[in-house]
Structure 1
Amino acid sequence: MVKVTLVAGARPNFMKIAPIIHAIKAQQLKNAPISYRLVHTGQHYDKKMSGDFFEQLNIPEPDVNLGGGGGTQAEQTAAIMVAFEKELMANRPDLVVVVGDVTSTLACSISAKKLVIDVAHVEGGIRSGDLSMPEEINRMVTDSITDHFFTTSEIANRSLRKLGFPESSIHFVGNTMIDTLMANMSRFQRPEGEIFENLKPKSYFVMTMHRPANVDQEEKLKEMIDAIMDGTKGLPVIFPVHPRTAKNLENLGISNPNLLMTDPLSYLEFNYLVKNAKGVITDSGGITEEASVMNVPCITLRDNTERAETIELGTNELIGTDPKKLAPYLEKIMNGEWKTYKGIPLWDGKTAERIVEKILEIYSNSK
């Protein structure tokens, strides 16, 4: 029996893990010798992470919550490492699967390797080149001790080869986030509330901003919002607001009748809005993937990205953090002159199946 421990530390991690669980269960129905244990490190306390969340996306409740949230990044890393080491000693697997680039990804990889347990990194090899981002450090350290990389793109494969990893450890499988997107697209739901009632498809924008470079300098934030509102020419801009950003906006007294601020939304609600939007303005990596596959124009307010394939083959453009650069891009969207989705290889909804087949191939044969 191949024993796998799946690790998730934050809400987006569960979107990446869910299809892997479904693929393991499908293999179990065929009597494949594989079992799994789902560990939530508790890195992010999120009130939306309730039973409803797991039910909505058909994700089983975690087998254990390590309660590793709170404190500085160093404190969090240490707390998760200590708790995960105990978990592994009590329930030793053949393989620990980590996803993405959060603190839990790094902490659990280190604990596993110290106990001589193999680590597989889903989304291994992606890089922004920006060491001021904690996520980049998490990716680099995790990849340096990973045994098997499940990669999302040829760009990630090239990056790993350049670092000297053997071809036998690099498995190009696609993107599990897109598995979740495709599995749930028919279930997207319009959010409830007055501001959503009169929205017409392709006649509004969706915006997300949370990175310090965009939201922590108040004058720059005001300039950015003003540039967005000018460029969207009176169309509604839906802005699910991170609490820190909400506070900064309040201090600045920013208000515009077309800027519709809302609490963070559920996965099915948020992606309903993205799918039907005229365009997306964001500083998040994951949203650029989903917008691309749904063929929705996407502007990224960052100086770098770890998801270059969304620019090469998707609908994403990286424009930096200077508000003055926004106008021509928004004009292109308004005029219907944006590039269309060309198709990213293996982003086809079957990534998790390939991951589980590869795990069985490697670990069934080695037992």
Structure 2
Amino acid sequence: MNGPVLCVVGARPNFMKMAPILRALAAHEPPIPVLLVHTGQHYDEQMSDQLFRDLKLPRPDINLEVGSGSHAVQTAEVMRRFEPLLDEHHPSCVIVVGDVNSTLACTLVAVKKHVPVVHVEAGLRSGDRLMPEEINRVLTDQVADRLYTTERSAADNLAREGVAAERVCFTGNVMIDSLLSSREAARDPAQTLAAHGLDPALLALGYGVVTMHRPSNVDDPATLEALLRTLGEVAQKLPLVFALHPRTRGNIERFGLDALLDARRTALLPPQGYLEMLGLMSRATLMLTDSGGLQEESTALGVPCLTLRENTERPITVEQGTNTLVGRDRQAILQSVEQVLSGQGKRGRVPELWDGHAAERIAADLWQWLRNRAS
């Protein structure tokens, strides 16, 4: 190895994936030197500080402070600010995780400067090119040098796209590494509600956890209204805890849909820290979400999950786990809720290599791969 490994994070889901990788690289014998780069793609100072504490993440060595913007503006600004780091630090490789704009932006810069790129969580596909994340995934995988996958079907996706098998290594799911290492420290859901002035008694007989943030669900007034009305019907059967993404909360207010949220049956929370969310999910009766990461975490926790999307890039959560795709179909949602409440919800099983040691496998393979490249 020559220079350090540059580890890139840009948005909240990246932190959960990178935290165990950083620990594994430090624990490897010999330790693998790293620099943690935060692009600042999504940055809320209070929430970021809490996430770093919850995940025991070191403070970033470098923060590019890019901020928000359109996909084009954000991607371009990450590229512009990331390039000088490669000239300054001469890294052995760049590790990117997931599928956010920072993942693709830093990949493009590194590849064009002949710096090897390692993609963690490679090969996941929803088949929906209308999702910006799908474009980021496909393009990153095409040019990455080493690709670590979370499930075996990812290798099939990569093979169909012409990615050579020798570039791919199945290591398991680092998101589950974070979940398993943090589970004992998860916050009590009653304390989470009380901290926001809400009555924990809402949770007494079971509850569902809701998150929604995808533009396809929350940016169109008619679509958002229909989903909120359906959630209102669900709340009459099972109390809900709704962690409101800023985009979702803003659109609810902008479209005048506040009255659809019944505070007697739905606890409305701001975005939650990792340990708060883990505590809420761990004891939930079910999840209703459009988040990819929560599909994985609910499967690992054995909690039935209803995904408010027509597709998923994580099919293993449907085939083996607790996940059911219900889209925005009112009848499908209500029927699936009834199945869960009658004890027929999916419990599934934990997929292969979702065992808390994925990051260790990545560190071992990365060390050998970098040595082979240098020889």
TM range (shorter): over 0.9
Aligned residue in 1 for 2:26: 25
Aligned residue in 1 for 2:145: 147
> Which of 254, 268, 281 is equivalent to 2:288?
281
Aligned residue in 2 for 1:244: 247
Alignment of 1:121-160 (within 5 A): 121-160=119-158
Deviations 1:282-307 (A, max 9, x none): 01111010001100010001011100
Q: How many residues align?
A: 364
Moved more, 261-270 or 202-211: 202-211
**SS of alignment partner, residue 45 of structure 1:** coil
Moved more, 225-234 or 124-133: 225-234
Tell whether the 8 Å contact from 1:201 to 1:276 is kept in structure 2 after alignment.
no
**SS of alignment partner, residue 347 of structure 1:** coil
Distance (Å, rounded) in 2 between the aligned partners of 1:353 and 1:195: 40
Aligned residue in 1 for 2:346: 339
**SS of alignment partner, residue 227 of structure 2:** helix
> Which of 79, 87, 90 is equivalent to 1:81?
79
Distance (Å, rounded) in 2 between the aligned partners of 1:244 and 1:343: 32
Deviations 1:94-117 (A, max 9, x none): 111100000000000000011101
The amino acid that maps onto 1:237 is: L
Q: Quote the RMSD (CA, aligned, Å).
A: 1.6
**SS of alignment partner, residue 347 of structure 2:** coil
Alignment of 1:1-367 (within 5 A): 1=1, 3-27=4-28, 30=29, 32=30, 34-190=32-188, 191=192, 192-195=195-198, 197-200=200-203, 203-250=206-253, 251-252=256-257, 253-256=259-262, 257-367=264-374
Distance (Å, rounded) in 2 between the aligned partners of 1:93 and 1:201: 52
- Kindly state the Cα deviation for residue 133 of structure 1 after the two structures are TM-superposed: 0.8
**SS of alignment partner, residue 68 of structure 1:** coil
**SS of alignment partner, residue 198 of structure 1:** helix
Moved more, 6-15 or 251-260: 251-260
TM-score (structure 2 length as normaliser): 0.93
Change in Cα spacing, 1:163 to 1:255, as seen in structure 2 (3 Å) is: closer
- Kindly state the Cα deviation for residue 312 of structure 1 after the two structures are TM-superposed: 0.4
- Kindly state the Cα deviation for residue 231 of structure 1 after the two structures are TM-superposed: 3.2
The amino acid that maps onto 1:84 is: F
Tell whether the 8 Å contact from 2:306 to 2:323 is kept in structure 1 after alignment.
yes
Tell whether the 8 Å contact from 1:88 to 1:112 is kept in structure 2 after alignment.
yes
- Kindly state the Cα deviation for residue 196 of structure 1 after the two structures are TM-superposed: 5.5
Distance (Å, rounded) in 1 between the aligned partners of 2:290 and 2:202: 23
Tell whether the 8 Å contact from 1:293 to 1:341 is kept in structure 2 after alignment.
no
Distance (Å, rounded) in 2 between the aligned partners of 1:20 and 1:67: 23
Tell whether the 8 Å contact from 1:11 to 1:49 is kept in structure 2 after alignment.
no
- Kindly state the Cα deviation for residue 34 of structure 1 after the two structures are TM-superposed: 2.0
Distance (Å, rounded) in 2 between the aligned partners of 1:358 and 1:201: 46
Q: Percent identity?
A: 43
Deviations 1:294-331 (A, max 9, x none): 00010001011100000001100011122232121011
TM-score (structure 1 length as normaliser): 0.95
Change in Cα spacing, 1:202 to 1:22, as seen in structure 2 (3 Å) is: farther
Tell whether the 8 Å contact from 2:196 to 2:269 is kept in structure 1 after alignment.
no
Distance (Å, rounded) in 2 between the aligned partners of 1:320 and 1:193: 30
Distance (Å, rounded) in 2 between the aligned partners of 1:270 and 1:314: 20
Distance (Å, rounded) in 1 between the aligned partners of 2:54 and 2:185: 9
The amino acid that maps onto 2:355 is: D
- Kindly state the Cα deviation for residue 243 of structure 1 after the two structures are TM-superposed: 2.1
- Kindly state the Cα deviation for residue 341 of structure 1 after the two structures are TM-superposed: 2.3
Moved more, 172-181 or 194-203: 194-203
